[in-house]
Structure 1
Amino acid sequence: MNVEKILAISGKPGLYELKVQTRSGLVAESMIDGKKITVGLRSNVSLLSEISMYTHSEEKPLVKIMRAIAVKENEGPAIYHKEDNDKLIAYFKQIVPDYDEDRVYASDIKKVLNWYNMLQAKGMVSKEEPKIENAESIKEQVVEEVKVKKETKKEAKTEKAEKVEKPKAKTKK
């Protein structure tokens, strides 16, 4: 299940797929109707890959919870998110038996099930464990990206300094 570019935007229904990042925000496409929207930097945007839910022992990533639903439902749709709260809580307890009832509300469960069903309808859920890249290779990629950015900034500063140092030729009239 690859949800690295899937966003939840506060105040907007459903999920969005990140299309482009801009200087002033980002462009996202709705997974409900396919419409593209621009989102400013001030909007509260969360990546699904960064969201977790409380359990009694730790915070469990949403991706693992969705994978557990996919396993239970054999990659099919989950229970409808507008069912009775008691049904939803009983269903969720089968998936995450140790979730913290004091900090995870019925509205949170509804949201997770709604998001799961959206992703399932788009064919984005999977029972498979994600292939984790070697931590060293990820670290090397990040270090390389930082080096490239630093070099680009140095070049830009050098060009700017050269432009400032060159005086313009004076012409006599």
Structure 2
Amino acid sequence: MEYNRIIAVTGLPGLFELVASKTDGAIVRSLEDQSTKFVSSRKHNFSHLESIEIYTKRDNVNLVEIFKSMKSSGTKLPDVKDGNGLKAYFETTYPDMDFERVYASDMKKMVKWFEIIDRNNIEFKLSEATAPEEEETVVEEEAPAKAKKAVKKEAAATEEDTATEKPKAKKKAAPKKAAEEAADSEATEEKPKKTARKKKSEE
């Protein structure tokens, strides 16, 4: 059984495994006596344990983090009927909890739920869909890489522009050569005329 399938049902004690969802309710299995039954959504509300968060002095934490601290502390669970004992227990196991907003009734539920889950040997582990979001950090880390690629593309584009500009400089020099060739051709045409004039004078 996986932690992400455990739910609490309003109006019913204990915890349940979600077996199947229906349009008008759900089929659940009790973690206490393993009995299976249909629960109508018209009369009851369902809460997945992995979606529950607890107030702390800093940011809210998922309920599973509280359970992990309770598991690792090894401290004996308090009597749920003793309000002072409950607070003293959580002050030791999770001192960052905001005790002004987390009431004795909430702590009582956490102790009861922890006992049921631990007794059924269920691992306190969130599903991948509910685990801390990593996609945002990946996007933020990829952004500089995309910027670098854009810079490289711009640099390549400027190199291509400079490469294409070089032949234009050669084309500008071409008219000068044409003018020189035209001048040479004119000079060669004038030479025969001079020789012709000399021949007439000799005659």
- TM normalised by structure 1 equals 0.67
Within a 5 Å distance, the mapping from 1:15-26 to structure 2 comes to 15-26=15-26
Structure 2 counterpart of 1:79, which letter?
L
Q: CA separation in 2, counterparts of 1:62 and 1:132?
A: 16
Q: Which residue of 1 aligns with 2:27?
A: 27
Q: Which residue of 1 aligns with 2:53?
A: 52
Secondary structure of 2:4's counterpart equals coil
Runs of 4+ in 1 over 3 A off after TM superposition: 129-136
Q: Which residue of 1 aligns with 2:40?
A: 40
Contact (CA 8 Å) 2:80, 2:111: kept in 1 or not? Answer: no
1:103 CA displacement: 1.0
Structure with the greater alpha carbon radius of gyration: 2
Q: CA RMSD in A?
A: 2.5
Q: Which residue of 2 aligns with 1:119?
A: 117
Tell me which protein shows more helix as a share of its residues.
2
Contact (CA 8 Å) 1:28, 1:36: kept in 2 or not? Answer: yes
1:78 CA displacement: 4.8
Per-residue CA distance 1:38-96 (angstroms, 9 max, x = gap): 122332110000011111211111011101111112xxx85144252111111111122
Query: Tell me, which stretches of 5 or more residues in structure 1 are unaligned?
Result: 137-173
Q: CA separation in 2, counterparts of 1:80 and 1:16?
A: 23
Q: Give the number of equivalent residue pairs.
A: 131
Within a 5 Å distance, the mapping from 1:111-150 to structure 2 comes to 111-125=109-123
Percent identical residues: 31
Query: Tell me, which stretches of 5 or more residues in structure 2 are unaligned?
Result: 136-203
Q: Which residue of 2 aligns with 1:87?
A: 85
Q: CA separation in 2, counterparts of 1:27 and 1:97?
A: 38
Contact (CA 8 Å) 1:3, 1:49: kept in 2 or not? Answer: yes
Secondary structure of 2:17's counterpart equals strand
Q: CA separation in 1, counterparts of 2:79 and 2:17?
A: 21
